[in-house]
Chains A and B, each alone.
Chain A
């Protein structure tokens, strides 16, 4: 892809695209994200269809605390920014800065997950269990699936940090980091729709 000149033995400018394998990984990951879009789309569709079916359970307007959601959103947006900084550090070949930014991203992800667990725990105490109503089932499925993706991302990036520490930044490890960064942004994109469709629209009575 890049016709630039490179010094022998030196890591290329964009190491994630330096090999055919790396470029194929990025392309394949985009197609995977297309599939993920469909997965979340169906969950969103189910939620939209069922969100007014609350039966005897609490209504969304009653349940949601926008303050908590705002904090969670801020955390996740910031983690998206820190993962961009990680990729930029990678392009500058600064492995140490790259690892540090990834660690910050993971910590922010953990903070988000902690808030979500607290939120779910709180809802269950208020009588909003998984089987309470069609609204609660679709809510937990949609938001829980997103939370599971965050958890998976945290584990994934943690493993990448360990690998980076052991093997350093090479044309093999670079595509992995790049693809993990894309995954993290995608999670953020899904959250944008969750806070809009689930929380904010739930508050509009």
Chain B
């Protein structure tokens, strides 16, 4: 984990403190995604399956924004974090698919 984003000549200097700008952009983006999701349902004269796809799409995108930027997953040294969460997600998908498609058969 030696490659930590900063070039060798920088490491002696003061650390660069990251500004709030990136996070405000992420915030605006997630508000926008939320708005799209709500508007699709409220405006809703469209095909039901299409609405579901939009809803799931915006939710997944939003989770990606949250995890990558706010939970620092995009930062270096998060390989075990990704493995931990992904193994959770794998079990979740199994459960959800089981409940949705098998329970009532």
Task: Give the interface of A toward B (CB within 8 A).
Answer: 1-5, 13, 26-27, 30-31, 33-38, 40-42, 44-46, 48-49, 66, 70, 73-74, 77-78, 80-81, 84-85, 88, 91-92, 182, 185-186, 188-189, 192-193, 195-197, 200-201, 203-204
In the complex formed, the residue of B with least CB distance to A40 is B92
**Residue in contact with B17 in the complex, picked from A30, A92, A203, CB distance below 8 Å:** A92
Other contacts beyond A41-B93, A201-B52: 17, CB < 8 A: A5-B11, A30-B78, A34-B88, A41-B89, A45-B92, A74-B31, A77-B34, A78-B27, A185-B71, A186-B71, A188-B66, A188-B70, A192-B34, A193-B59, A195-B37, A196-B55, A201-B55
Q: Please report whether the interface of chain B is mostly helix, strand, loop or mixed according to DSSP.
A: helix
Pick the contact of B11: A4, A27, A74 (CB < 8 A). Answer: A4
Contact of A49 among B15, B40, B104 (CB under 8 A): B104
- B66 and A196 contact, CB distance less than 8 A: no
Q: Are B20 and A88 in contact (CB under 8 A)?
A: yes
Scan B28-48; emit 1 where CB is below 8 A from any A CB, else 0: 001100100110111010001
| Interchain CB contact (< 8 A) of A192 among B12, B51, B52, B62 | B62
B95/A42 in contact, CB under 8 A: yes
Closest Cβ of chain B to A103, distance in Å, is 18
On chain A, the residues within 8 Å of B70 by CB distance are 80, 84, 185, 188
Separation in Å of the A150 CB from the closest CB of chain B?
A: 16
Contact check, A41 vs B34: say whether CB atoms are below 8 A apart: no
Question: Which A residues lie within 8 Å of B18 (CB)?
Answer: 88, 91
Q: How far is the CA of A78 from the CA of B104 in the complex (A)?
A: 39
* Residue B9, interface by CB 8 Å: no
Q: Is the CB of A192 within 8 A of B63?
A: yes
A200 x B31 contact (CB < 8 A)? no
**Interchain CB contact (< 8 A) of A182 among B20, B71, B87, B91:** B71
